Structure 1
Amino acid sequence: MVRKSLLKCTGFLLTAVLTASMLTACGSNTESGSKTATDNGTTASNDTDNGETQEINVMIWDRGSSAPGTSNEENEMTKWIQEQVLEACNVKVNFVAVPRSGSDDKLNVMMAGGNAPDIVFSYNQSIFSNFASNGGLADLTDAYAKYGTDIQTNIGNIQYMGVVDNKQYAIMKRRGQQVPRHVSYIRKDWLDALGLSIPKTKEELFTVLEAFKEKNPGNVSDVVPWAMGGSTDTEKFYLSFVGSYVAELSEEDAYVYAENYKVFADGAIDGLKKLNELYNKGLITQDFATDTTTDIFKQDVSAGNAGFILADATEIFDLIPTLQSSVDGAEFVPLNCFDTPEGEYINPTEPLYGMYVMVPKTSESKADACVKYLNWLSDATNAENVMYTPEHTLDSAGVPVSMLQDELNE
């Protein structure tokens, strides 16, 4: 069955670099023919100009999560996609797994050696710019115009990010939704116990943190008013707070001081000084700097010791079940309290565009086939089937329902 072993094929699912972001159905006609719905739920294109079957190699990420007896390159989902793409586009797809850890380094090595797959990708804009400016990428302009109809319809508004010198050197992946990268959460049950309201400003937050430390509303042995980790590969634990001390920037300065560079903007030093003050008062995790794996941070949240956190938007969702199983009535709620000098709130948000999907110069002769494959992925029906499996169901509102682990393992 197609569903077999799909749960652990997440490394492969990242191959579908355009899939999860499709929000509308694709009923447009392409130059190569109109689309028809096939019996298996995919959308096929009646190509008339394919001629011989074209073969492409597509990079995928290997996260070490393959189910027993399968691989990232060979599993039920890869077989299903290969069958559908061959039928719809007359393109034979092979998958080439690259370890997710250090994937950009591996990509650079493959590109330099001239043995990269026909479709490669990276989130790194610098890598894309370097390849494009040094003649390392195929020009996809004509192929995109001719075979990228669904891409143009669904995510055409971000494709300018893949253009250099008026040439389309990358097909951009759009994120499924645009959400804040970092979100603050506070223990609502602690606030209720102290008769306090959810803070709406930094000053109100400071008052609450002091109260958490002095009155220990959770009656825990090691109260941590503001739990913080020390991972060095992200700015999630401090950026929103420090950035709130920076006055509104001009368009040029906003570009210069985007994301983690905002700590160098005028005013940010005041935020850093305030963090130091809070730390010295014992309001922030005292050994956060050595908690590079964030294990202490997660333990403090899960054990009920933490009153306030700033972290990735959904990170807390993995910790709440453990917290609520051990602490009755524990409740974290999101809040905006990092007011700016203008009295507003600014949260770092992921851009609409994400991954740069590229075709190496060495694969220029396969540009048409590569874009046909990417366009197939961008079709709403195909995207849904790849994301949720071809055998998924819809709820009463017509929203796809993720299959349970037991169902996937049948």
Structure 2
Amino acid sequence: MNTGKKKRIAILCSTALLAIAAAGCGNSGKNSGEGASQTAATESAATSGPPATLTVEVFDRGVQGQPDLNNNMWTKYVNEKFGKPNNAIVKYVSVPRSQEIDKLNVLMAAGEAPDISFTYDGTTVTRYAKSKGIYTLDELLEEHGQQLKSYLGEKVLSYGKYEGKQVSIPGKRTLLAWNGMFIRKDWLDKLGMPVPTNKDELYNTLVAFRDKNPGNVDHVIPWATAAAGMNYTFGNLIQSFWGPMTEEEFVTTTNWLKPGHKDAFKWLNKLYHEKLISPDFALDKTTKQADADVTNGKVGFYAANWDYPLSQKIREPLKQNVPEANYVPVDTFKNDEGKYLKEVYNENGIFSFIPKSSKNAELAIKYLNWMAEPEVMFFLQFGEEGVNHKLVDGIPHGIAQTGEKMQTSNLNMDYTPIVNGAELGDTEKNVRTYAAALASGDKSYEKLATDSYKINTTDGYSSFNYGVPNEANIKYGKTLGDMNKQMIDRLIVAKPAEFDALYDKLVKEYMDAGGQAVQDENVKNYRAAQAKNK
């Protein structure tokens, strides 16, 4: 399989689409790009007369003790440094993080969405663009967003285009790692075993964990996992079984039909029946049980987000319960080509856009452009030295605050939509900063983070950017996503003698329920994109 030479390519992903009332999304019948530079934005950006009010979305994450999201240290800085020079007042409109799509749809339908709105759901933005409910931004960016364009770059900006037009401003994702795998090094040391580097070695290690129980715990769990779709994953196990494919096949074929995919699940089925993975994983739909097993020292190996061991819900209770536990990142699923193929994030993060109901489009772009200034971005992410952070070897280490100086999201991401992740201009520094923010400056966790990031971006690939929405996925995505989770759980626990028949039956049902339509449209869109690039 020659994936190492391929362009960035994709696993088909299913995303839920919530319908919007497109009729309320515009204030005229013009195309979304028409008149953008002729709106009242010119007046609102004027330096004389009454100040304009620029409304900006901010997520309300329900953090305990959080300050007023429209009146705190960060909003005051914005209004002082950007608002006053531009004769503007920046007002923040809070939207519950857990309900952001529902709330956004209502605001868009009513013509009341903030001048700068955002969402992580690119499909929703595409629907808004398709219904001509948002501005195209090419002219505005050219005139007022040169610094923003320079910071983001063409690759990141390309994820915010629809029919060749810029309809949103994607945030720049500074850290691309996604899943990771972690093993108890202290257990390996007790058994005199090396860190596994392939499937066979991992299998032997899991058997040793089961049979020799190096942690001397009740109900040892060699490999902890949870119900499909939760934080616990299978790492890059599935990809390691995939056989040779052309780039088109790799990009467009549903995973269930990729060569070797069935063998991967048959291997997981074998592990389950040999009591090498969590016995009741399919019932753990919140990861509460898997988290408890890890933090109580019962687990030898697990796969989850690349930074999961740094999370407070894992790090602190594990340290208290099992001080000697030492999880290290590991890369153990090598394919036939000797690659450790794994999916990573695309370069883009959250999508910011300007609704057609906005009268401040020009000012909105100026605001995002201002945010791209290095000193502005640094302050919004890290605050004031000695107050919000201290510098340790050039790396900002956060100082916890309460009240108006508190950050309600990691690195203040809800006030910095043009960037997802720490931005110090260097990937290693970004990783160390991110680790410091999560682990309160613990050097061992900084090393764990840098090692994990390096491992989990090696041989990485990200999803293929077709440049157009897959209409079949919009129609069937929610159904297919739900089916996908159920299929994974059922196949792993199936009786071995019934596995092959069940796999074929479930895959046929999946393809009949919309999988074939999604795959066919992927082929069409891929070929169109390739023809356009010739």
Task: Give the TM bin, normalised by the shorter chain.
Answer: 0.7 to 0.9
How far is 1:153 from its partner?
A: 1.6
Matches within 5 A, 1:71-82: 71-82=68-79
**Which deviates the most, 119-128 or 386-395?**
386-395
How far is 1:292 from its partner?
A: 0.8
Change beyond 3 A, Cα 1:137–1:266: same
The one of 170, 173, 176 equivalent to 2:174 is 176
* SS of the residue 2:264 aligns to: helix
CA contact (8 A) 1:301 1:323 kept: yes
Equivalent position of 1:43 in the other structure: none
How far is 1:172 from its partner?
A: 1.2
How far is 1:378 from its partner?
A: 1.7
Alpha-carbon distance in structure 2 between the residues aligned to 1:234 and 1:394: 35
Equivalent position of 2:297 in the other structure: 304
**Which deviates the most, 197-206 or 146-155?**
146-155
Alpha-carbon distance in structure 2 between the residues aligned to 1:183 and 1:334: 7
How far is 1:243 from its partner?
A: 2.2
Equivalent position of 1:35 in the other structure: none
Matches within 5 A, 1:324-343: 324-343=319-338
Equivalent position of 1:201 in the other structure: 198
1:395 equivalent in alignment to 2:391:
yes
Alpha-carbon distance in structure 1 between the residues aligned to 2:80 and 2:159: 31
The one of 375, 380, 385 equivalent to 2:379 is 385
CA contact (8 A) 1:247 1:342 kept: no
Alpha-carbon distance in structure 2 between the residues aligned to 1:329 and 1:61: 38
CA contact (8 A) 1:89 1:373 kept: no
Consecutive unaligned residues of structure 1, counting only runs of 5 or more, are: 1-47
Alpha-carbon distance in structure 2 between the residues aligned to 1:106 and 1:215: 53
How far is 1:139 from its partner?
A: 1.7
Equivalent position of 1:345 in the other structure: 340
* SS of the residue 2:205 aligns to: helix
Alpha-carbon distance in structure 2 between the residues aligned to 1:202 and 1:344: 13
Equivalent position of 1:224 in the other structure: 221
The one of 239, 244, 247 equivalent to 2:243 is 247
Alpha-carbon distance in structure 2 between the residues aligned to 1:139 and 1:248: 41
Change beyond 3 A, Cα 1:395–1:76: closer
Corresponding pairs, count? 356
Question: TM-score normalised to the size of structure 1?
Answer: 0.81
Change beyond 3 A, Cα 1:51–1:269: farther
Amino-acid identity (%): 32
CA contact (8 A) 1:394 1:400 kept: yes
Equivalent position of 2:265 in the other structure: 272
How far is 1:132 from its partner?
A: 1.1
Alpha-carbon distance in structure 1 between the residues aligned to 2:48 and 2:164: 30
The one of 69, 92, 97 equivalent to 2:94 is 97
Equivalent position of 2:350 in the other structure: 355
How far is 1:104 from its partner?
A: 1.1
Equivalent position of 1:21 in the other structure: none
Alpha-carbon distance in structure 2 between the residues aligned to 1:50 and 1:143: 18
Change beyond 3 A, Cα 1:146–1:172: same
Change beyond 3 A, Cα 1:97–1:167: same
The superposition leaves residues 210-235 of structure 1 with CA deviations (integer Å, 9 ceiling, x where unpaired) of: 011011111111100001122x5447
Alpha-carbon distance in structure 2 between the residues aligned to 1:406 and 1:64: 14
Equivalent position of 1:56 in the other structure: 54
How far is 1:262 from its partner?
A: 3.2
Alpha-carbon distance in structure 1 between the residues aligned to 2:239 and 2:108: 38
Equivalent position of 2:276 in the other structure: 283
Q: Which has the higher helix share?
A: 2
Change beyond 3 A, Cα 1:255–1:121: farther
CA contact (8 A) 1:248 1:342 kept: no
* SS of the residue 1:362 aligns to: coil
CA contact (8 A) 2:47 2:85 kept: no
The superposition leaves residues 38-97 of structure 1 with CA deviations (integer Å, 9 ceiling, x where unpaired) of: xxxxxxxxxx964543321111111112636x3222223222222221134333211111
Equivalent position of 1:133 in the other structure: 130
How far is 1:396 from its partner?
A: 5.4
Change beyond 3 A, Cα 1:220–1:396: closer
Q: What letter corresponds to residue 84 of structure 2 in structure 1?
A: E
Change beyond 3 A, Cα 1:79–1:367: same
How far is 1:334 from its partner?
A: 0.5
Consecutive unaligned residues of structure 2, counting only runs of 5 or more, are: 1-44, 407-534
Change beyond 3 A, Cα 1:393–1:191: closer
CA contact (8 A) 1:138 1:362 kept: no
Question: TM-score normalised to the size of structure 2?
Answer: 0.63
Alpha-carbon distance in structure 2 between the residues aligned to 1:248 and 1:113: 50
1:373 equivalent in alignment to 2:370:
no
Change beyond 3 A, Cα 1:174–1:254: farther
Shift >6 Å, 4+ stretches: none
Alpha-carbon distance in structure 2 between the residues aligned to 1:326 and 1:320: 10
CA contact (8 A) 1:182 1:310 kept: yes
The one of 115, 118, 136 equivalent to 1:118 is 115
Change beyond 3 A, Cα 1:304–1:276: same
Asked which structure has the greater RCO (Cα within 8 Å, sep 6+), the reply is 1
How far is 1:247 from its partner?
A: 2.6
